[in-house]
Structure 1
Amino acid sequence: MSTNQRFTLSELAKLKIHFIGIGGAGMSGIARIMLAKGFNISGSDKNDSSLLTSLKALGAEIFIGHDAQNLGGAELVIISSAIAETNPELLAAKARSIQVVQRANALAWLMSESTSIAVAGTHGKTTTTAMLTVALQSAGLDPSFAIGGTINTAGTNAHSGSGSIFIAEADESDGSFLAYQPTGAIITNIELDHVDHFADEAAVFEVFEHFVSSIKKNGFLVACGDDPGVKTLLKRINRPDLKILLYGKDESNDFRMSKIALAPTTSIASISSTGKKLGELQLSLPGEHNLLNSLAAFAAATEVGAAEDKLILGLKSFTGTRRRFELKGEVAGVKVIDDYGHHPTELTVTLIAAKNLAQSGRVIVVFQPHRYSRTAAFAPAFATALKIADFTFLLEVYAASEKPISGVSSLLIAKNMSATEVKFEPSMLAVVNEVAAMAKSGDVIITLGAGDVSSLGEPILQALSNR
């Protein structure tokens, strides 16, 4: 089989497809869509999970652990960038000359026969993609979608819809989003991140420039006109065929929000397009950043023909996604929030929202830096962001797939903060007990990071109950 063969949906339907690492957020979503289309799917992952249970219920053959025999009669193998070259299933696939493709290519094939919208940007991708999905569902369009997070109301991160629209979160972290070639795209913002892959800011702009070039001829781009990174990118784009729609607070934007009102758990803004008043966005989420995300979703949805009044109602009904300012529970007046934020900019907007939620109470953070390379690059900026909180417990760095870097630990962040602001505590058990002992009624405890810090929400709630 050719190593660069592309497949139509009808061709994919005839193949036995095997996923290595099928339990990941992105991989499981693609598998879910393929299963809904009746494809023959198998997959493996090192650990069992509820995602694997649901995929098995949909008809997938699931293996726990990686073994060459798991391939069976596979004719196509899909992997994520997290799969090591030494994986026994990957080695076996190569030995048998089975075509191996990255998940982005597989997703691109699923999107290829639809009106597709790819949602990109350094921050806000998951929330914006989910908002766009819920808004279009409210407008009766039933889009297919693949998102890196679970929509609260739907309880899923992917769906094979009956409509002609396909929405996908487009992750720039390894440049693989260039495979999508969407009909249209959203870019929420651009700045340096994923320093394990991008050497500098120039490399980030280069990949986003290629992403815009990958949008289909006569397609559209919705981008935040207030963002400095987007402004820089727009100067580098030469696509006269592309319809560019800008959104934000500035009067120069095509879609503009004004009269912004931010409450502890909600946010409201009036929206207009080229001077015409369109209505009022009312979100059940806090933070100006979420109003911007919703405006991006609104603009893109109107471009594919959705009714404006139904979009506004859909966005009002949106309650968020898992791990994005997710309320895990409340005990004795103490709220426990979990959030995926792992970049200084994300921490800043999240902690501002947390302070507004706490009002006169305190914000106590449990932060787990994600990757040694990111910690080394942004330690002072992390410290500045964390100072918005009243106190921070710093866990050790979550390595993800990285090897340790000499001299890099969470202490790099702690050194930029005072003892009254931070405590470095690598023991999760100790952090659970200390944060529960510290919290008082009215306080907000927030677990922050893209690693396993998210597992602490329930133990913290239990520790608060046991006081």
Structure 2
Amino acid sequence: MSLVKLVDPVAAADLGRVHFIGIGGAGMSGIARILLKRGVRVTGSDARSSELVTELRELGATVHIGHAASHIKNVDTVVVSTAIRDSNPELGEALKQGLRIIPRAAALASVMAGRTGVAIAGTHGKTTTTSMLTVALQKCGADPSYCVGGQLVTTGLGADEGSGEVFVAEADESDGSFLMLAPDIAVVTNVEADHLDNYGDPHEVHASFARFSDRVGSLLIACVDDPGAAELADLARSRGKRVRTYGTTGGDYHVTAVRPEGFGTVFSVEGMGDVRLAVPGAHNALNATAVIAVADELGLPFEEIRDGLAAFTGAKRRFESKGEAGGVAVFDSYAHHPTELAADLRAARDVVASFSGTGRVVAVFQPHLYSRTRFFADEFGAALGLADEVIVLDVYGAREDPEPGVSGAMVAARVPLPGERVAYAPDRSAVPGLVAERARPGDVVLTMGAGDVTELGPQIVARLG
């Protein structure tokens, strides 16, 4: 996107007629949905049709399948996703016409303007925490607007316009575009090295989060269990920013007594009370505590937020149940960073304890991006060692071209388990059969990755059946 200059966002009412290049993406379609609900004329294009495209058309958008310069007609503002290349004919036509061209994050900032903006940032946990906060606020009657990087199980939507004053948004650090947001309140769940293809080194990741904290208007909420977030909290305080912290190691919202209960989690926040979640994992206790901190700042009663959190049943692709067959439970996760894999595999261990008490964890992992696989092959292998059986697919390249010598085999070779318990499966179609050979009653199967590995869950259930 080197041809596109990142511009300061303008109010949504001043965007005029808006065209989205790549409107079918999860983030782009959500902003388009909100604009449509506000009465803005929206057009767009995408490479292929989808349910999201169909929904936008039903809301009044004109959506073209395929990209052509002729689609840029009677338009004031063009929104582009990071997946759009400089050679895109619609982008070229927008430049030729001298139209306002903004990235998705600037469009998000525009629709947040005028509301009490709450942004959830961090290397991991953004989608789940944003979803938790949205559902909890909905259950409290606050009716927030929201824009999440995934889909809520409760509504099936990733974004919507609410009648309340609060706007909850997931802040994406992957390309640095979260620096276009200026929220009133921000949560930082953690700060770790990732997206090094963009940042170059971990120092730049931390520096970007520091710049993000400078843009927060009222309050920064950070998790002190994470060294990067704790360091950010100290830095923000030194710069005069108001900061609140949470964590199991201390903080203003001190989490204690975390334990699994059934398929969920129970924990306590010191001085406030117990909380029950319908989702597994100690990491989700921390995510929920971030929600409690935000709600406390907004003046909402703990009892109401506690009930709202209990009603949260998850976000799609965040430890999402895909079914059960032959006494084996199958879940799917978007986890694509070593820390995320480790957190989900520990949660899977908790689920096994509730599901059968004697079963094992079978991990099916698809590395995402060649650069990330190259950077973190050792760490991926170590994280997968938390499972009992491991199947590693080949790399899902997404926007990247293949790199010589970089494949799923790099990860499989680094899993610290006996060789017979680790399989490298470059042929994705073979995976359901491999799982069926290895899984036995009482086991939990967890598919993980940000690519098309998500399609395997139903196939595995069918094969097990």
TM-score category, normalised to shorter length: over 0.9
Instruction: Tell whether the 8 Å contact from 2:236 to 2:243 is kept in structure 1 after alignment.
Output: no
Match of 1:114 in 2: 115
Structure 2 residue identity aligned to 1:8: A
Structure 2 residue identity aligned to 1:113: G
**Greater shift after overlay, 139-148 or 402-411?**
402-411
Alpha-carbon distance between aligned partners in 2 of 1:179 and 1:190, rounded to the nearest angstrom = 18
Structure 2 residue identity aligned to 1:11: D
Match of 2:449 in 1: 449
How do 1:233-252 and structure 2 match up within 5 A?
233-237=232-236, 241-251=240-250
- Among residues 2, 7, 11, which one is paired with 1:8 in the alignment? 11
Match of 1:433 in 2: 433
Q: Which runs of 5+ in 2 are unaligned?
A: none
Alpha-carbon distance between aligned partners in 2 of 1:98 and 1:259, rounded to the nearest angstrom = 55
How do 1:288-327 and structure 2 match up within 5 A?
288-327=282-321
In structure 2, do the counterparts of structure 1 residues 5 and 313 end up closer, same or farther at CA, with 3 Å as the change threshold? Answer: closer
How many residue pairs end up in the alignment? Answer: 455
Alpha-carbon distance between aligned partners in 2 of 1:288 and 1:245, rounded to the nearest angstrom = 20
Report the Cα offset of residue 5 of structure 1.
7.0
Structure 2 residue identity aligned to 1:422: V
Q: Deviations 1:392-423 (Å, cap 9, x if unpaired)?
A: 11111011101222221111112223422311
Match of 2:40 in 1: 39
Report the Cα offset of residue 71 of structure 1.
2.0
In structure 2, do the counterparts of structure 1 residues 3 and 226 end up closer, same or farther at CA, with 3 Å as the change threshold? Answer: closer
Report the Cα offset of residue 296 of structure 1.
0.3
Instruction: Tell whether the 8 Å contact from 1:337 to 1:457 is kept in structure 2 after alignment.
Output: yes
Instruction: Tell whether the 8 Å contact from 1:264 to 1:358 is kept in structure 2 after alignment.
Output: no
Alpha-carbon distance between aligned partners in 2 of 1:3 and 1:29, rounded to the nearest angstrom = 20
Match of 2:267 in 1: 269
Question: What SS class does the counterpart of residue 237 from structure 1 fall into?
Answer: helix
Q: Deviations 1:74-101 (Å, cap 9, x if unpaired)?
A: 2211011111111111111112211111
Instruction: Tell whether the 8 Å contact from 1:189 to 1:224 is kept in structure 2 after alignment.
Output: yes
Structure 1 residue identity aligned to 2:222: A
Q: Deviations 1:186-214 (Å, cap 9, x if unpaired)?
A: 00011101111121111011000000001
Alpha-carbon distance between aligned partners in 2 of 1:154 and 1:378, rounded to the nearest angstrom = 35
Structure 2 residue identity aligned to 1:410: G
Question: What SS class does the counterpart of residue 255 from structure 2 fall into?
Answer: strand
How do 1:177-256 and structure 2 match up within 5 A?
177-216=178-217, 219-237=218-236, 241-251=240-250, 253-256=251-254
Question: What SS class does the counterpart of residue 440 from structure 1 fall into?
Answer: coil
- Among residues 325, 329, 352, which one is paired with 2:323 in the alignment? 329
Instruction: Tell whether the 8 Å contact from 2:352 to 2:359 is kept in structure 1 after alignment.
Output: yes
Match of 1:284 in 2: 278
Structure 1 residue identity aligned to 2:74: G
Alpha-carbon distance between aligned partners in 1 of 2:137 and 2:461, rounded to the nearest angstrom = 36
Match of 2:148 in 1: 147
Structure 2 residue identity aligned to 1:309: E
In structure 2, do the counterparts of structure 1 residues 18 and 260 end up closer, same or farther at CA, with 3 Å as the change threshold? Answer: same
Match of 1:375 in 2: 373
Alpha-carbon distance between aligned partners in 2 of 1:353 and 1:189, rounded to the nearest angstrom = 18
Alpha-carbon distance between aligned partners in 1 of 2:258 and 2:25, rounded to the nearest angstrom = 37
Q: Deviations 1:89-132 (Å, cap 9, x if unpaired)?
A: 11111122111110000110111111101100011000001111
How do 1:12-23 and structure 2 match up within 5 A?
12=15, 15-23=16-24
Alpha-carbon distance between aligned partners in 2 of 1:334 and 1:396, rounded to the nearest angstrom = 24
Report the Cα offset of residue 6 of structure 1.
4.4
Alpha-carbon distance between aligned partners in 2 of 1:371 and 1:443, rounded to the nearest angstrom = 29
Q: Deviations 1:134-176 (Å, cap 9, x if unpaired)?
A: 1111221111100001010111111111111111000111110
Question: What SS class does the counterpart of residue 419 from structure 2 fall into?
Answer: coil
Report the Cα offset of residue 238 of structure 1.
5.2
Structure 1 residue identity aligned to 2:381: A
**Greater shift after overlay, 415-424 or 449-458?**
415-424
Structure 1 residue identity aligned to 2:165: S
Instruction: Tell whether the 8 Å contact from 2:187 to 2:221 is kept in structure 1 after alignment.
Output: yes
Alpha-carbon distance between aligned partners in 2 of 1:449 and 1:161, rounded to the nearest angstrom = 31
Normalised TM-score (structure 2): 0.95
Instruction: Tell whether the 8 Å contact from 1:3 to 1:99 is kept in structure 2 after alignment.
Output: no
RMSD over aligned CA atoms reads 1.5
Instruction: Tell whether the 8 Å contact from 1:213 to 1:239 is kept in structure 2 after alignment.
Output: no
Question: What SS class does the counterpart of residue 364 from structure 2 fall into?
Answer: strand
> What percentage of aligned pairs have identical amino acids?
45
Normalised TM-score (structure 1): 0.95
Instruction: Tell whether the 8 Å contact from 1:387 to 1:421 is kept in structure 2 after alignment.
Output: no
Match of 1:70 in 2: 71
Structure 2 residue 410 is the aligned partner of structure 1 residue 407: no
